[in-house]
Chain A
Amino acid sequence: MDRNGAALMQPSKRNWSAAALWLLPLVYLGLFFFYPLAAVLRLVVQGSTTAFNAVTVLRPLGFTIYQAALSAVLTLLVGIPAAGMFARFEFPGKRFLRALTTLPFILPTVVVAAAFNALIGPNGWLNQGLMAVFQLTEPPIQLLNTLPAILIAHVFYNTTVVIRLVGSAWTQLDPRLGQAARVLGAAPLRAFREVTFPLLRPSILAAALLVFLFDFTSFGVILMLGGPRFSTLEVEIYLQAVQMLNLPLAALLSIIQLGCTLGLAILSNRLSGQNYIPLTPRLKGEGTSRPEGVGQKAALVGLGLLLLSLLVLPLMALAARSVIIHDTGGTRLTLDFFSELFINRRQSLFYVPPVVAARNSLVYALATVGLSLAVGVPASAALNRRGGFTRVMDAVLMLPLGASAVTLGLGFLIVFNQPPLDVSSSPWLIPVAHSLVALPLVVRTVQPAMASIPENLRQSAALLGAQPLRVWWEVDRPIITRAVLVSAIFAFTISLGEFGATSFLSRPDMPTLPVAIYSFLSQPGAFNYGQAMAMATVLLAVCGCSIVLMERLGD
């Protein structure tokens, strides 16, 4: 399994090409990540006179780790079987269901909170149904502002990461390996445990790390669904920086959060051991089959229903609220919320037509895809060269996920205040900020795919007279296309949803769909609420169509 191809090259040549691959990622991270971050962290040194006690740090740290671990385990429990279902079975509506499971990832937390409230809130569908069936006077399910609400929301958000990451590895897996084990008498579970699972391990670990980090830096979910009794490091950073105006403490907490992220990234790197099994490219549809027998069918239906109720039902609740009016005049269907979006009723200077908001969102999202691939693909290729530097970089590339968006936002403000790099006049700094969050996902998706390209295929191609570029085009490209596509979808959705607090740089002259949703939700009045739901439905539709389109392009 030794990848001896690299050894065939001259050492000096190898170093040069590795250095060339690292150039762009290093410059990019250095300028847009470490430079602003360092500016904020310097505040700790400058003004550390503020007293703080260890409890303000340790209490949120403990809870942060606890809830992130629980959330990650639950997400894997749902995501791995789902990934297998999409990788190994053909069933009606598969493409549609997979696109739907991606949508939660883009939703701003306010909207998710609204969707959960419509579904499981005190006056939500579930409670109303139960109250009607069992003749209850009080809603039986009180989930909001509890730990389960946080966990459910995290599963809702991040299951797609597992489905995409593990699923893409699973699709590439030679189905004959599992079949051979079965022929040799292994029960299905044993075949999975001893053959499939070890082969999937790198992708499962990568997914686990990413999901854990997303939950670790969770912010909106904790604030909106967990309520004031729960606090994570990221929430504390926000409170200290924005509410208490205590930047030194916020910066100190950021350092702790970054340290934890780095530690985790190194740990996961050790665990996965970087043993990639060479994979021969699979034909499209190879290894998938229709479910056979009652057991398989029942399992698939059960899993499908679980995904529908966990990931799709909240979206439907949200869409339903955008077309239903429920007031003193009774309950009725309406398109008023949508048509009103097109009217500047207040004649406000800051009115945003929905088409413009959607266009702005798409422009930023496509730019984010371009930037994160331009940096992430060379970085992934460089990571597959061995060496101590590579191991360091492998962990460093995960850091943007652990950097508080609040901290990074402040950093951008401090350092990018002069043309040509000026947050006030450079709209492209927004996709830059989004691409920093997307970068770890791109690397974790593309790098394993690149590592699994069998060296003997390259050598055969070279022996047959193919030039290096041709070898890359004919051998590498087909294998990594799928992974690049998956990472492009991640980058796209991260930008479209302005992922949590990364919206720190939004510009009023280029407002996006999430910005428009917030402005409706920040006012009283049933009509404003309905319009927020309508705008959120537009966001869902735009994202859904884009994902389907991108998957088509990848085929």
Chain B
Amino acid sequence: MVTWMVIFMLALSACGTPAPAMTSTPAGPEELTVMVHDSFSVTEQLVKDFEAQNNVKVTFLKAGDAGSMINRAVLSKNAPLADVLYGVDNTFLSRALNEDIFESYDAPALAQIPASFKVDSQNRVLPVDYGDVCLNYDKAYFSEKGLVLPESLEELTKPEYKGLLVMENPATSSPGLAFLLATIAHFGPDEVWNYWAALRDNDLVVVNDWSTAYSVNFSGSSGKGQQPLVVSYGSSPAVEVVYATSPVADAPTAPIVAADMCFRQIEFVGILKGTSHRALAEKFVDFMLSTSFQEDMPLQMYVYPVDPAAKLPEVFTKYSEIPVQPVLMPPDIINANRDSWIQKWTETVLR
């Protein structure tokens, strides 16, 4: 989840010195610094095992949300703050690649990863996980009102869904941007604005961040808000079950995974240019692509592993769904148009 971050927390955070070579004693473990976004999490024991096996001390440098992290990596590219960077996604990828901050690495594990995830032909970044931004709906609301679920983007403009959808501002929120990109892929960059005008006239609710949309406006969350439809993640229902206040037999929410209604976010790892720990950095990338790490991710970060062999936890298979036909958009097209698309969206929907 790239930016399940509260947006105003521009946590250009820091931790640990990237060991100056002269002060490290020869007998002690080498140090490896990994820059990650704030949503990064991992089981403690996994990291300890990796450290023991490779005689290394891994330091994680949390650097804010994906955007802040890329900023930070780019600003410090002449004196890199870390050896490895994890968490750049396909909406920010081109910027990072254009700035030339990564070194190529043809990891052996790439062989098992489906081609659709491998976006960079030079393997400067390697896919680690993915998540789909999908509408979530409040099951109780739809069954009580006897309302049918919207099965396509077009149907959202129908009068029976008037005022029922809350989404995040694409200018401030990564799921908001993902949903906008899904509609652009479906309708085309010219026609799409008529669609957004129709959604606006159908009383679309827009808030600035995921946290407000989900826990204040969405009726299916603990906030019990006004809108039974929210732009969130395909994995959110599973998390609702894991973190319910009473043990529940079923998730209170579910994703809508109809064709073209979900946007796929892929998160990547890359070795930062100028690292003095190239061999260890490669080992860490291998570690992130290993089965144990891939199987650890779903319950730590609520994302799906790119390795098809990795087993999913039961809550994921039971309550969340992977869309059959998610929207995928090449990073360079996103990079070339994101500012003008966001601008156009703002003019259409907010003004």
Contacts and interface: CB of A to CB of B under 8 A. Distances in A.
Given A244-B339, A518-B9, A523 B14 contact: no
A174 interface: no
A224 B210 CA distance: 10
B65 to A, nearest CB: 7
Interface residues of A, number: 77
A336 interface: yes
Contacts of A139: 226
Contacts of B242: 525
A461 interface: no
A229 B205 CA distance: 11
A522 B245 contact: no
A423 B15 CA distance: 8
B244 interface: yes
A521 B10 contact: no
A524 interface: yes
B10 A405 contact: yes
Given A349-B60, A424-B61, A530-B222, A409 B236 contact: no
Nearest to B45: A347
B6 A522 contact: yes
Contacts of B64: 242, 504
B10 A242 contact: yes
Q: How large is the interface on B (under 10, 10 to 19, 20 to 34, 35 or more residues)?
A: 35 or more
Interface string A215-236: 0000110011001110000000
Contact of A326 (B41, B65, B222, B342): B222
A507 B14 contact: yes
B11 interface: yes
Given A224-B209, A325-B245, A527-B244, A346 B14 contact: no
Given A346-B43, A530-B245, A220 B216 contact: no
A491 interface: no
Given A327-B244, A523-B302, A525-B240, A425 B14 contact: yes
Contacts of A505: 11-14
A406 interface: yes
Interface stretch (B66-74, B126-134, B267-275): B66-74
Contact of A223 (B60, B208, B299): B208
Contacts of B216: 113-114, 117, 121, 144
A27 B281 CA distance: 41
B232 interface: yes
18 contacts: A110-B211, A227-B207, A228-B169, A239-B171, A245-B67, A326-B224, A349-B60, A350-B42, A351-B44, A410-B12, A410-B71, A417-B79, A422-B17, A424-B14, A424-B18, A425-B16, A507-B13, A522-B211
Interface of A: 109-110, 113-114, 117, 121-123, 139, 144-145, 219-220, 223-224, 227-229, 238-239, 241-247, 325-329, 334, 336, 344, 346-351, 405-406, 409-410, 412-414, 417-419, 422-425, 500-501, 503-509, 515, 518-519, 521-530
Given A242-B10, A522-B5, 6 more contacts: A223-B7, A224-B8, A228-B171, A242-B68, A413-B12, A525-B244
